[in-house]
Homo-oligomer: A and B are copies of this chain.
Amino acid sequence: MPKNCNFVDKLREIGLRPTKQRVKLCELLFLREKTFHFTINDLVKKISDEMNEKISLATVYNTVHAFQKKGYLKEIAINSDKTYYDTNTSIHHHFYDEETHELIDCNQNDIDSINLKKNIPGKKIKSVEVLIKVASDNQNQN
């Protein structure tokens, strides 16, 4: 979702009704310089803390799913009980800090291209993404 844009029109364009809640969430999610990694709970907290608003939990779930479906949010695979999302929807990689549970983007050009020598017969490759787990030191590997 482009920054500095009229979210009302933008939402209409992509076939979602521009409700108050959706516009608020757009502002929270897409008016940012850096890509943003979050869980549903992070969002709910930010809405009440930073925007002094209240959007029902169900709506946050609905809206995040709608944006994901339209391709403006991406679900990130990490070992967690919660689901993480990213405003960077391109195919890219992540550092995952095992101590702070923070995600940091690692773009395609931060990694030499990955060359697969194996494939699955009858299947096409949809994405190849790397998860780099980091920790300060004497941490166990998983």
Contact = CB atoms under 8 A, between A and B. Distances in A.
A128 B132 contact: yes
Given A141-B91, A142-B74, A123 B110 contact: no
Interface stretch (A15-23, A27-35, A43-51, A112-120): A112-120
Contacts of A110: 116-118
Interface string A118-141: 101011111111111111110101
B133 A126 contact: yes
A78 interface: yes
Interface of A: 68, 74-79, 83, 91, 95, 97-98, 104, 106, 109-112, 114-118, 120, 122-137, 139, 141-142
